[in-house]
Amino acid sequence: MDTPLPAYIRRLVPTLLTSTPTARRAFRCRCGRPVFFRNDVCLACGTPLGYDPDLVLLRPLAPTRNPEVFRAMRTRGAGKTAPLTTYRRCINWTSAAPCNWLLPDNDEARLKPYCRSCRLDRTVPDPTDRDNAELWLKVELAKRALVSQLIAMRLPVESRVSENPEQGVMFDLLRAPEGAPAVMTGHDDGLITLDIQEADDVHRETVRSQMHEPYRTLIGHLRHEIGHYYWQRLVRGTEWEEPCRAIFGDDRLDYGLALQDYYASGAPFDWKNRHVSAYASAHPYEDWAETWAHYLHMVDSLDTARSFGLVAHHDEIQYDAFTPQVLHPDEPDAKPSADDLAFLAVVNGWIELTGALNEVTRSMGEPDFYPFVLSKPAVRKLHFIHKVVRNAAGGLARGGSPTGAGGVALGDGSSTGAGGGAIGGDSGGAGGAEGGSPVSGGTGTLPPASDGVESPLIA
């Protein structure tokens, strides 16, 4: 029989779900009407809008005498006390993938006019191809959602192209020419390669069905691959490396052989008892990346729920609650920390919220909003990632604690849309048999640049 949430956790759930989100997704224009993360103009009053990733705010803008410079305006609700600074728009505002992000009006922005998301691109699709332009826009929308979340969580987000060539991250957004081998989605030493065909709904759903995946999305790919990057950035060679191996497994196991075995034999029959997805069982690298992606899924979804004041708290449906013993199974008498309790409150609150949302989507004849089930080992892995994130963010002085949980997939395949690779066929994958990023096609050429502006490669 299901048991109600413990009182000390139940008291925390409404507070956490209605507290200030780490990455806000809903805003107000100066006119008081609601505006949203992707908007570049208020449809009610026509005021220009732009997103400031450092303030985590969508800001109403007023023109100045310089047509390239805008001044922030007073708004209602969140951001009403933010400084009325001046901005420039990202140069991609007028591209085939219009960007509504802002840069501070300073000398650096004039010389490097790409926003914090667009400057991560090393190669972009040729926008003169109409299909490329449509797919590129969808990719950039998903990438901006990802990058805004990472910035709000105070994780390091630096361009390997123009900011940190040793430790930064960059993206090659590629599409294979007609008749050429498919582009392989993957991560290789700070380079994330993405097959933009994953932005095509028909292609992605076809692959999802072929691979028997319960969930496959564009942002899922991005969150999975950025997970590989953050393992390299935050775990490898640090004090987290050995504890990570203790919970996820030894990452030194031969990656190519592990993938060969996975695609030949499939996941173990009991993978649901230990992993967030079937693909997570392939190798400790993939277990980390899949779990990382689930963590980001939940953090961002809960932030969106908070942004709109959504709270799931109902006595009609009760669930088995995760207790502190789940996090410390070898220390049954250990006293949970405040952060342990906050993490568990969000995990259990997430179960309540998604239980209700699954019923809503079913009522519309759509697949479950969250087609996963939690296991105790999965929660422990998510808690480990939570601690790594908090450590990297220096305790998160702003925006609260990004806590989340992952789940165990109810079907085969990758819950985040990973899978594939050099062994797995044409689907987007986690790299090749040797763990790199085998990219087919998509060679780029550098377009002419002017005034010192660094342009991405065009593929």
pTM assigned to the model: 0.83
CA distance linking residue 132 with residue 215, whole number of Å: 24
* pLDDT at residue number 454: 64
Distance in angstroms (rounded) separating the CA atoms of residues 279 and 419: 6
Mean pLDDT by 10 residues, the chain (459 residues): 47 48 86 93 96 95 96 85 93 96 94 96 93 95 97 96 96 93 94 96 92 90 98 97 97 96 93 94 97 92 83 62 87 85 82 86 92 90 94 57 30 34 31 29 34 66
Structure confidence at residue 160 (pLDDT): 96
Phi-psi region of 79 (alpha: psi -120 to 50; beta: other; left: phi over 0): left
User: β-pairing, 372-373 with 102-104?
Assistant: unpaired
Q: What is the pLDDT of residue 318?
A: 64
- Contact 211/414 with Cβ under 8 angstroms? yes
Neighbours of 349 (CB within 10 A): 26
Token couple for 291: 């779990």
Report the alpha-carbon distance of residue 174 to residue 359 in Å, rounded.
37
| pLDDT of amino acid 333 | 80
> What pLDDT does 354 receive?
84
Closest CA to 402 of 415, 410, 412, 392: 392
**pLDDT at res. 214:** 87
DSSP character string of 90-120: -GGGGSSS---BEEESSHHHHHS---TTGGG
Strand 26-28 and strand 49-52: pairing?
A: unpaired
Alpha helices in 153-270 (DSSP H): 201-210, 218-230, 241-248, 255-265
Would you state the pLDDT for residue 344?
A: 86
Which two structure tokens, joined as six digits, stand for 395?
């305790």
- How distant is the alpha carbon of residue 159 from its chain centre? 17
Q: Distance between CA atoms of 286 and 288, rounded to whole angstroms?
A: 5
Q: 346, 302 in Cβ contact below 8 A?
A: yes
Q: How far apart are CA 297 and CA 223, in angstroms?
A: 8
Which amino acid is residue 11, in one-letter code?
A: R
Rg (alpha carbons) of the chain, rounded to whole number: 22
Give the side-chain half-sphere CA count within 13 A for 114: 20
How far is residue 50's CA from residue 70's CA, in Å, rounded to a whole number?
9
Two tokens, residue 108:
């650096």
Cα(364)–Cα(161) distance, integer angstroms:
44
Interior angle at CA 456, CA 452 and CA 457, nearest 5: 120
- CA distances 318 to 194, 322, 325, 342, 354, Å, are 41, 12, 20, 19, 13
pLDDT at 453: 55
